[in-house]
A and B are shown apart, each in its own frame.
Chain A
Amino acid sequence: MYTIDTIKDQYFNQEHLEIQLDKLKTVYLKKTIEIMELEKKAEILQNKLTYSDQQMNGYMEELQVLQIQIDGMEVALNNARNRVQFELDYANRRRYYESTYDSVDTECFNKVLTDEKNASRVIISLDGMEFNIERASGLMEDLSEKDYVCLHFERDLDTDVRRIRKNNYAYKSEVQLLGWLKSIDLKPVLLVNSVQQTALLDLIDAKYIWYDICNHGEALWGEQADAKMQHFNLLDIADMVTFSDRKFKRYTLYRKDSMMWKPYKGFYEILNKIFLGEFCTDDK
């Protein structure tokens, strides 16, 4: 049996405890809200971090691309610095030929004209890279058998001019060649297969030009714009344009009359026409 007081006490006590519980719950709620806010802040910050990470990846990628670009540029620049510029090379060569050709003895070449009965049909190939010389020598050998008087360049010759066989000669000095051509009344076909040869070519007044493409553009004129423009110029002025492989035809498209010429497969009539003055350069 409870007394009134006991009931009262119990009632107050319970009220007190319930107030305490309510307060605690309020605190709990507040804490929950605080935590939620903190979580929200963390989420925002996390999103920012994710975005920042993406941005960072973008920066890293951009940096990488830029670095690759710069590396490529540096390689290109180093190559450019280490290589002789075509224009300069052309000027140096030309200056050298001009200053030396009239002081060399050209007698060695005169024998060619006296020894060969077809001395009016002369084809001459010029100095170049190894592949240029090889290709030209092959063509010269072939053509000499077709009764053209052919001269090709050979660096390691022990004499100035050597007769290999009938109609087929090798020479070792372009300066002597220039001096000789300047001194006689002859209009030879000059087989050109490199833009570097134009320094000499431009000094020879009487000539027919046979431009033969025998390698990729990377090997023939590379990245040098002047050299490439010289190639276009050669296409423009050449009397005949040939190429050694179907892969190289694309370099000659300006000349619709260009043709493939492999050694020992001849388009001799066209050469004859050149010598007879029948070949015209209109069909470009």
Chain B
Amino acid sequence: MISKKDAKSYSIIPQEINSVKVALQQMELIKENQEMKLETLHTDFLNRELVAIEKKEAIKHLKEKVESQNYELAKYDLLYITEYSAQYKYYKAVVESPISQEAINLVKLIQEHQYTGIVVYPNAVHWNPVQRPQQIMMDLAKRGFLCFFCDSSQSVDIHKEHEKLYIVSNQSHLLQALQNFHVLVMNTWLMQNAWTEHLPHKTIWYDVLDRVDFFSFYDKGMLAAHYQNLYEADIVTYSAQALSEYIYKREDALYLPNAVKIEDFDMTNHELVMPEDLLTIIDGNSKIIGYYGAIEEWFDTELVSKLANHKNVKIVLIGHCGLSELELPENVYLLGSKPYSELSRYTSYFDAMIIPFLVNDLTNAVSPVKFFEYCAIGKPIISTPIAEVLQYEGPGITLVNTSEFSSLDPTFWNLNSKGIRHLQNIANENQWKNRTSTILDFMEKSPSFLPVLANKKDEKNEVNVFAATFLDYEGGNYYSGGAERYLVDLHEVCVELGLKLNIYQYGDFSWYRKYKDIDVYSLGHESLCMDEFTMDNLLSFSRRFDYMAKGRSMLNIYSAFFQSYPNIAHPSIGISHGVAWDSPHSQFEDGFQFWNLNEKYIQSADQLQKLVSVDTNTANWFQTVSYETSLKIETIPNYVDQNEFFPVQREGDDKIRIVYPRRLYRPRGLYITLDIVDRILNDYPNVEFHFVGKGFPEDLQAIYDKMEQWAGRIYCYHSEPEDMHLVYKNSDIVLIPTLYSEGTSLSCLEACATGNTVIATRVGGLTDIIIDHYNGLLIHPDKESLEEAVRICLDNPEKMKKFGENAIEVSKAFNKDIWKKRWKTVVKDVLQNHGVEWVPKSENDLKTQTIEITIGSEIEKSEWLPYVTDCLKQGMTVFIRSTLKPEMNLSFERIQWLPLEAEVYFVPDKVKKFV
């Protein structure tokens, strides 16, 4: 009965019934919708199933086609080369693409490590089962090398296997990341070359560990590739004596058989838990013979079967079985693959170990890793007499010919002390750590290993400048032009901020030089040089700087700013040394042509975060093209150091010296000057012309011709920037007759500061310095105007005097201290806007420590090579002067080879001679 308390109010029940009815109707609708949806999904799913079947069929069909094409290709010996070419092209595209974020992360990871060198094993095998390359990588990592093992089966991009040892799943990213490092590449499979080929800086260690005809894709093409590898590799090793068939042409090849890491099989202090899949096999009554490794066509099933026929014997096989048909007795158990770390758990329950390999050319050329591991395990070994095991015959090792074998000797199972000792000796003498020592000793005897030790350690405070040239393409001859002097002074600014400024430039090989305290690097390498001045080449250099900068630079400066086209790394500042694109080629028929020629200037300025211009002309030009771009241009005019450039009382002679103080070539107005000398010298007997600067032979010849005509009145010489003040202090009129490509000329400012009368054209940023008829004459860029201006000066000494006085006053506005202060603000602002913080370093901490080593022609490399190796390991930068003509690729970052007589622009911290 409903109590009054419980009963609902009578009036609301019908309402509630109605609501539920409405809700039910809605539910019905929802249900219908849901059913329809389900039906649609079901239909979709069925359709997908059908499509999946179709696709699977199509894949099967294509795979069959690949198979038949492979068969066809094999007929032409194109099996290897076709696959290789496809991979080669893929990796080529990778290194020609912008650097990926994953690659940048890898670069950062590399920078986080202190390492002796970088070692890579490109993708060939999986990490498991752990074999020779893996063991060597593990040991190299232990010795301070940063190792990357590429294994495409890994699901994560990068996995830290051990300290300094990483497994990388996508080797494309690694390829991009390593473009600016020198790498030791361990190569065991010829297909790895497709990746390795695109590494610019490498030492190749070709480790021949199987017969070449054993590999997939084997054909004559692969054999040819093997020989190429054999001759090109810096170091060649081989794992089995029988492989000498393939390597005999490399007399320096090193026999390096496989080995064992004993610790991994020493079960003394381990509490062992029986693996689950052994629980049903181990019964206490049977002896267990164990095997681990691959089961392929060379697996001796007959021997295994014969052994299985023994009473109370069970055989356990661990490893991947690649055989489609494998008939074995019931007491042979296939457990599949197990991780390397699990193997000892299994082997500790075995009573004996077996190597059941058919004896043939293939297996005779194999040094089974498992043999040495079995020795370390210390249980009786039964093996077929393959060549690399045969040499170790002795107690504890039973060699059997399968055809002759019938039964095991009952004593086989009991390993006596002799047997134990024999196996121990083999294991002790064949350890991976010994192999690594052997190979490192071997490598350290070769100069080609030095670059592996020479990767520079980046500082956090690095400001990297990308300039076309600072030194010449070979790393010699400092250009000493305005842009170079600008960078030298910018270096000073950075040092005062506690930052390290490096310069990267075009070059013919991978050189590094120092100019005073500035580190200058060539971005070139063995196959990227400036022999050809092509757009492709320039793009490659641009990409190389970009790859270097991203992940390594704190700040990037582009000098000139259009070096940032098309690749740019931030934080970024560009420098405009003036409008450099106003040459006589600036004649456009239409907008399209204009765009084509100016695209790189416009786009690079647009991409940069900050643009510093030496003149207002640059900003004004940009304002006509992109108003917004012009707003991010900050004009910091060039400067003059008044402590160096100041007026002096001229020595009393009656000569009037007209100085042309710049590069001796057409854009700077050389020829309009030469055009007027005859008339001026003729009309003014006390005038002399001085052409001061460097020039190309044909331009110099034009001056020499005039000199011959006007002996004693025309001079031509070069003066180093630090001596230029003496030239100005001894001159009267300075000509800056630029035709095009001009900023705020340093020569012009220096001439002003020393009180000279300046005659300049109205080109570029010269209008920022010279006010016509106030501190000089500003003229039209032609010979008539120049001649007229010179005559005005010569005819009006009072005017000249006034111009000189005003020039000194104007020059004070271009004080070097102001320039430095403004640059410091720019650098700080850009870094701050980018959230970059830094701890300033002292000037000494920013310097690279260098040693110069001279090697006499008669000196054996065994005398100097260990010393150089030690210097590199200690982090020094080594310059070797030698009469030897080493390969260009032996120079890389901290190891540089110089001809005996090479001129350098720095004083090494240490000097050592081997003469």
Q: Are B76 and A38 in contact, with the CB atoms below 8 A?
A: no
Task: Choose among A67, A245, A253 the residue with the greatest number of B CB atoms under 10 Å from its CB.
Answer: A253
- CB contact between A24 and one of B24, B42, B69 (< 8 Å): that residue: B24
Contacts of B35 in A (CB 8 A): 38
Contact flag A63-B55 (CB < 8 Å), given A31-B28, A49-B45, A225-B221? yes
Partner of B38, one of A38, A85, A253: A38
Given the complex, which residues of A lie within 8 Å of B7, measured CB to CB? 14, 18
For the complex, give the distance between the alpha carbons of A257 and B282 in Å: 64
What separation, in Å, do the CA atoms of A119 and B269 have in the docked complex? 84
CB-CB under 8 A from A11, the residues of chain B are: 2
Would you give the 0/1 interface string for B306-343, flagging 1 where the beta carbon is closer than 8 Å to chain A?
00000000000000000000000000000000000000
Report whether B8 and A18 are in contact in the complex, using a CB–CB cutoff of 8 Å. yes
- Which of B20, B38, B220 contacts A21 (CB under 8 A)? B20
- Complex CA gap A3/B221 in Å reads 112
Q: Which of B30, B55, B76 meets A77, CB within 8 Å?
A: B76
B72 contacts partner chain A, Cβ-Cβ < 8 Å: yes
Complex interface: stretch among B9-17, B561-569, B707-715: B9-17
With A10-B10, A14-B2, A70-B62 known to touch, is A59 a contact of B24 (CB < 8 Å)?
no
Is A229 a contact of B24 with CB atoms below 8 Å?
no
Please report the C-alpha to C-alpha distance between residue A75 and residue B78 in the assembled complex, in whole angstroms.
11
Residue of A nearest to B55 (CB): A59
Which residue of A is nearest B41, CB measured? Answer: A45
Does A108 belong to the interface (CB within 8 Å)? no
Chain B residues near A60 (CB, 8 Å)? Answer: 55
Q: Is the CB of A76 within 8 A of B78?
A: yes
CB-nearest residue of chain B to A284: B249
Q: Mark B73-86, 1 if CB is under 8 A from A, else 0.
A: 10011100110011
Contact of A63 among B34, B59, B232 (CB under 8 A): B59
A80 cross-chain contacts in B, Cβ below 8 A: 73, 76, 78
A41 within 8 Å of B (CB atoms):
yes
User: Smallest Cβ distance from B200 to chain A, in angstroms?
Assistant: 13
Question: Which of A35, A55, A67 has a CB less than 8 Å from the CB of B27?
Answer: A35
Chain B residues near A18: list those with CB within 8 A.
2, 7-8, 13
- Minimum C-beta distance from A67 to chain B (A): 7
Within the assembled complex, what's the spacing in Å between the Cα atoms of A73 and B30? Answer: 56
Q: Name A1-43 residues within 8 Å CB distance of B.
A: 10-11, 13-15, 17-18, 20-21, 24-25, 27-28, 31-32, 34-35, 38-39, 41-42
- Cα A226 to Cα B85 in complex, Å, equals 17
Contact B66 A69 (CB under 8 A): yes
Residues on A with C-beta less than 8 A from B224 are 225, 228-229, 232
Query: Which residue of chain B has its CB nearest to the CB of A25?
Result: B20
Check if A203 is an interface residue, CB within 8 A of chain B: no
Are A31 and B17 touching (Cβ within 8 A)? no
Is A55 within 8 A of B28, CB to CB?
no
On whether the beta carbons of B59 and A62 are closer than 8 Å, the reply is yes
Q: Which residues of A contact B48 (CB under 8 A)?
A: 49, 52-53, 56
Chain A hits for B296, CB < 8 A: none
| Chain A residues within 8 Å of B219, by CB | 225
User: A223 within 8 Å of B by Cβ?
Assistant: yes
Please report whether the interface of chain B is mostly helix, strand, loop or mixed according to DSSP: helix
> Which chain B residue has the least Cβ–Cβ distance from A66?
B62
Asked if A265 CB lies within 8 Å of chain B CBs, one says no
Closest-CB distance, A228 to chain B (whole angstroms)? 4
Chain B residue total in the interface (Cβ 8 A): 62
Which of chain B's residues 7-56 have a Cβ closer than 8 Å to chain A? 7-8, 10, 13-14, 16-17, 20-21, 23-24, 27-28, 30-31, 34-35, 37-38, 41-42, 44-45, 48-49, 51-52, 55-56
**Chain A: interface size category:** 35 or more
| Chain A residues whose CB sits within 8 angstroms of the CB of B17 once the complex forms | 17, 20-21, 24
Contacting pair B37 A42 (CB below 8 A): yes
B220 touches A45 (CB 8 A): no
Query: Distance (Å) between the CB of A66 and the closest chain B CB?
Result: 4
**Once bound together, how far apart are the Cα atoms of A230 and B45, in whole Å?**
59
Nearest-neighbour CB distance to chain A for B586, whole angstroms, equals: 36
A165 at the B interface (CB under 8 A) = no
Contact B2 A17 (CB under 8 A): no
A223 touches B221 (CB 8 A): yes
- Hey, which chain A residues are within 8 Å of B62, CB to CB? 63, 66-67, 70
The CA-CA distance from A45 to B38 in the complex, in Å, is 8
Residues of A near B85 (CB, < 8 A) are 72, 76, 223
Q: Are B31's CB and A35's CB within 8 A? A: yes
In the complex, whether B223 has a CB less than 8 A from a CB of chain A is: yes
Contact present for B13 and A73 (CB under 8 Å):
no
B63 near A: Cβ within 8 Å? yes
How far, in Å, is A261 (CB) from chain B's closest CB? 15
Chain A residues whose C-beta falls within 8 Å of the C-beta of B223 in the assembled complex:
225, 229
Residue B836 lies at the interface, judged by CB distance under 8 Å to chain A: no
Does B231 interact with chain A (Cβ within 8 Å)?
A: yes
Q: Chain B residues with Cβ under 8 A from A28's Cβ?
A: 20, 23-24, 27
Q: Which residues of A contact B65 (CB under 8 A)?
A: 66, 70
Interface string of B511-555 (1 = CB under 8 A from A): 000000000000000110001000000000000000000000000
Interface residue B884 (Cβ < 8 Å from any Cβ of A): no
Q: Which residue of B lies closest to A68 (CB)?
A: B86
CA distance A250 to B70 in the complex (A): 30
Measured between alpha carbons, how far is A67 from B55 in the docked complex, in Å? 13
Whether the Cβ atoms of A225 and B220 lie closer than 8 Å is: yes
Q: Given the complex of chains A and B, what is the CA–CA distance between A253 and B31 in angstroms? A: 78
28 interchain pairs (CB within 8 A)? Answer: A10-B10, A13-B10, A15-B2, A18-B2, A18-B8, A20-B17, A24-B17, A28-B23, A28-B27, A38-B38, A45-B45, A46-B41, A49-B48, A52-B52, A56-B48, A68-B86, A69-B86, A70-B65, A76-B78, A76-B82, A80-B78, A223-B81, A224-B77, A225-B77, A225-B224, A226-B77, A228-B224, A229-B224
Which 9 residue pairs are nearest across A and B when measured between Cβ atoms?
A: A225-B220, A59-B55, A66-B62, A228-B224, A254-B231, A38-B34, A73-B69, A80-B76, A225-B221
